[in-house]
Structures are given as C-alpha cells and as structure tokens.
Amino acid sequence: MDIGIVSMRYARALLHYADGHECASRLYDEMRMLEHSLSHFPRLREALANPALNKREKLSLLSTAAVGEGKTSREFARFVTLVMKNGREPLLHYICLAFLDLYRRARHIHVGRLVTAVTVSEEVKRRIREGSSRRLQAHTELRTEVDPSLEGGFVLEIDGVRLDASVATQLKSVKRQFIDKNRRIV
C-alpha cells in the first residue's frame, strides 16, 4: 500500500478519535514535538526500525521524544502502541506530518517562518504573529530563525507565500539592475 494513503488513514483516525474525546490540542502538541524529534534526530528513526528493541523500549523512546521528561497522554500512548502492533513504526514520521496538516486545516492554523539577521524580541514576534493572523483571519504559528547572511531586514514565509525584505536580496536586485543597464549601453 502507498505510504501516503496509510499515513493519512492513521492520521484521520487519530484526529477523529481526539476530537471525540476532546484531547486534540494535547495530542497536537505531542505530535508536533514528536515530528520535530523525528526530523532533527535521524538516529531516532533508526532506533524505531531496529528489530532488537522491544515495543516497550520503543514506546518509552517515543514518549520521551514527544514530551521530554513529562508523561504522555493516554491517547498518545494507545495510538503509538497501535502503530507498533501493526508494524507501522517506519511510517510514524509521515503519520505525524499528516496529523499536523489535518489538525491545522481543521482549526485554520497557518504556519509561518521568520528569518532575521539578528535575534528579535518577543514583542516583535508577537506583533508579526498578530498582524499575520489578522491579515489571514486565522491563527498563525511562527517559528523564528537567525541567518546573519541576510545582513539586515527579514524574510517571512507563511504557507508558501514569501515576503523577502532582506538587505542581501535588495543588494542583489540593485546589482542585477546595474548590470542589466550597463549591458544595454555597450
């Protein structure tokens, strides 16, 4: 069966169950953290594929990846146990991504990324988040990154739309215009 179809089925079932038991927001937080862990720590995915680890050890590993030192929700533990029982551990990252996407669509949540040349204050982040939420008429989650190569300004991406107000891009644009103008003269 196709990876996307299987992942989407598990994600839809989990979201439907979570909505029925009013634990969707907690599951969303746990799945978001688990997805982050699976994305940034490839050895975690290798451990899930390792047949030498038993299901209890894998569940413990995934629980730690989802909440750290805290305790996961009962629904999360039951879902992960179901996934492992059916031998779908290699698809868990795709299931997380599908669940996050379905949850965000259902709750009108947009994901944004703000890249700046220097670290920005919480006040600036809050204003950008509120402004984009007002503009999109939906809640916005904002991740921030620092990239000194921008030389100043910022780059804001929300759901595939990019606003590039960086100094580096403006300098490239001026350079390109200067080169194009000088080509016509010669």
Cα(180)–Cα(43) distance, integer angstroms: 49
Tell me if residue 121 falls in helix, strand or coil: coil
Four-residue CA torsion sign, 70, 75, 76, 79: positive
Q: pLDDT tens, 101-157?
A: 999 999 999 999 999 989 999 999 999 889 888 888 888 888 899 999 888 888 999
Q: Domain containing 123: what range?
A: 110-185
Of 105, 128, 158, which residue is a domain's last?
105
Residues 173 and 136 in one domain: yes
| CA nearest neighbour of 46 among 98, 102, 93, 107 | 93
Residues 82 and 121 in one domain: no
Domain limit, last residue, from 105, 140, 157: 105
Average pLDDT of the segment spanning 69-87: 92
- Please tell me the distance from the alpha carbon of residue 183 to that of residue 141, in angstroms, as a whole number: 45
Confidence of residue 161 (pLDDT cuts 50, 70, 90): confident
Q: Are 75 and 27 in contact (CB under 8 A)?
A: yes
Give the confidence band of 76 by pLDDT, cuts at 50, 70, 90. Answer: very high
Mean pLDDT, range 45-69, rounded to an integer: 90
* pTM for the whole structure: 0.81
